[in-house]
Structure 1
Amino acid sequence: MTGFPDRDGGDPGGGGADPQEPLLRQPPGYLDAPPGAFAQIRRRAARRRRARAAVGGLAAAVVLTGSVYLAGALAPHGSDHAVSPPASDSPTTTAPPLPTATRQTTREPSATPATGRRTSDARGGAGTATGRTATSTPAKGGGATGSASPATTPMCATSQLTASLGGGDAGAGSLFRYLLLTNHSSTTCHLTGYPGLSMLDAKGGRIGAPADRQPMDYAPVVLRPGESASDTIHTVNQQGSCLPASTKLRIYPPGNTAWLDFAGRVTDCDDLFTVTPFVAGRTGNPPS
């Protein structure tokens, strides 16, 4: 059964084929594509491929540019900080040298001592002074004269120097002692900047912290054989709490890792113990 009357006359009345059968049984068939449709589809596909290729090229260019910029940003840059080697020398004692620290900014001397604990260099060095560099002029007692200059003389090594305490001064509760370095060798040399300075007890143990650096202008000091340079130790006279008085002092001349121990009585009171840079002469800095 197909649901339609049989073509051979299934009608019991014998009336023949149904005239509507050709309409109900349309022959199968398919519509043809419009003319030029496949060419249009190919053109669209080609445009899409070109667009994808252009987008991919742009993305690759962006990634490459970003990589070059990032590599340049992360590349290490050189430092313009120059470090000069210290003068070659050997220690004059067997005790180990104190550790090296960076330059410290310290207090200006005043009639009223400052408070608070300090940190400072344990070894000598030129350091960096605040403000412009001044020219050192010879003071009474010897100094740089004549044609010798730092450019033509080496830095003084510890083995060329003798350390001692000179005179002093006092005022407004402050005490000032002059620290001397004398060139006992037969060779002219120069000193530049601050020493490292510590107080020692009778057994060689350190008392308190090393001296702070009092910010001041400085310049190289040329020492011919027998000439001296000096700086000023600043403390206060029995104010606040005081550490035990020193029996000896230990000095690291500027630019040296070797030290000198010498007799000297200094007392750190109210946490004030500073030193100035060296100048020519034997009357401290500033010369008196």
Structure 2
Amino acid sequence: MRTKVSVSPSLVFAGLLTAGLVLTGCSGGNDAKETPSPTPSASSSASTTASAPASGSASGSASGSASASAAPQTPAPGPADGAPLCTADKLSADIVDTPGGGAAGSVYRDLVLTNTSSEACSTLGYPGVSYLGQSGTQVGAPAIRSEGTEAVTVTLEPGQSAVASLQETRPENYGDECSRVPVSGLRIFPPDDTAYLNISRAGYGCSSENAQLLQVGPLAGPR
């Protein structure tokens, strides 16, 4: 025997309403998960925009530096506030023996540079000095600079001279290391000049670069 169950219409409506709310809630959760996140291209664009001012600043700095380096430079003043340099073409050179200018194994002489031009010139520092071989080429070690005397600017009017002390050591002091050879004179380079003056003065020198026969002081004067 079957028992008949009677269901109230109000209960059926309530059940359907509850099921509908559950389905609606599930559908809303799925939609939230599927919402697209910001794309990488949008993030990249923001980064580029932020770095743009820095890039512009760097470019401006580089441009300013280039403009500064391209600006004309003021020439450095001469050693005597604008007086032209005493170069070889304005000078004559001579070696003058000095009374009592000898020492054990060496001789002291004066190297004299005279302004032969028609205008004043100036010089500062040490002349270069080397021996000349018989063929007229430089031989041996060039002169080293003597210490203890400060170099000063010397301005020479036409006919005036500047003088530097020149010490010459005898070749015999170096023995076999010297490789002694006859010399025809001296080659003189004025300070800051690549041109030279030759002085005829026969004697002997050393062909070895290890034998240091010449020592020169700074130019002084005028006289």
Question: TM bucket by the smaller chain?
Answer: 0.5 to 0.7
Give the AA of the match of 2:217.
Answer: T
The alpha carbon displacement at 1:64 in A equals: 8.4
Match of 1:221 among 154, 160, 175: 154
Match of 1:198 among 130, 135, 147: 130
Q: Does the Cα contact within 8 Å between 2:154 and 2:222 map onto a contact in 1?
A: no
Are residues 66 and 42 of structure 1, via their aligned partners in 2, closer, same or farther at CA, if it must alter by over 3 Å?
A: same
Are residues 58 and 158 of structure 1, via their aligned partners in 2, closer, same or farther at CA, if it must alter by over 3 Å?
A: same
**RMSD across aligned C-alpha pairs, in angstroms?**
4.1
Give the AA of the match of 2:103.
Answer: G
Are residues 209 and 61 of structure 1, via their aligned partners in 2, closer, same or farther at CA, if it must alter by over 3 Å?
A: farther
Q: Distance in 2 between matches of 1:229 and 1:185?
A: 14
Higher mean C-alpha deviation, range 260-269 or range 172-181: 260-269
Give the AA of the match of 2:161.
Answer: S
TM-score normalised per structure 1: 0.50
Percent of pairs identical after alignment? 28
Q: SS at 1:239's partner residue?
A: helix
Higher strand proportion? 2
The alpha carbon displacement at 1:56 in A equals: 6.1
Which residues of structure 2 form unaligned runs of 5+?
Answer: 1-21
Which residues of structure 1 form unaligned runs of 5+?
Answer: 1-30, 87-125, 127-149, 283-288
Q: Does the Cα contact within 8 Å between 1:250 and 1:260 map onto a contact in 2?
A: yes
Higher helix proportion? 2
Is 1:259 equivalent to 2:193 in the alignment? no
Q: Report the counterpart of residue 129 of structure 1 in structure 2.
A: none
Q: Report the counterpart of residue 15 of structure 2 in structure 1.
A: none
Moved >4 Å (runs of 4+)? 59-73, 75-78, 81-86
Q: SS at 1:278's partner residue?
A: coil
Are residues 58 and 165 of structure 1, via their aligned partners in 2, closer, same or farther at CA, if it must alter by over 3 Å?
A: same
TM-score normalised per structure 2: 0.62
The alpha carbon displacement at 1:85 in A equals: 10
Match of 1:41 among 33, 44, 48: 33
Higher mean C-alpha deviation, range 253-262 or range 51-60: 51-60
Match of 2:139 among 207, 213, 217: 207
Higher mean C-alpha deviation, range 62-71 or range 201-210: 62-71
Aligned residues: 184
The alpha carbon displacement at 1:280 in A equals: 0.8
Q: Distance in 2 between matches of 1:271 and 1:210?
A: 8
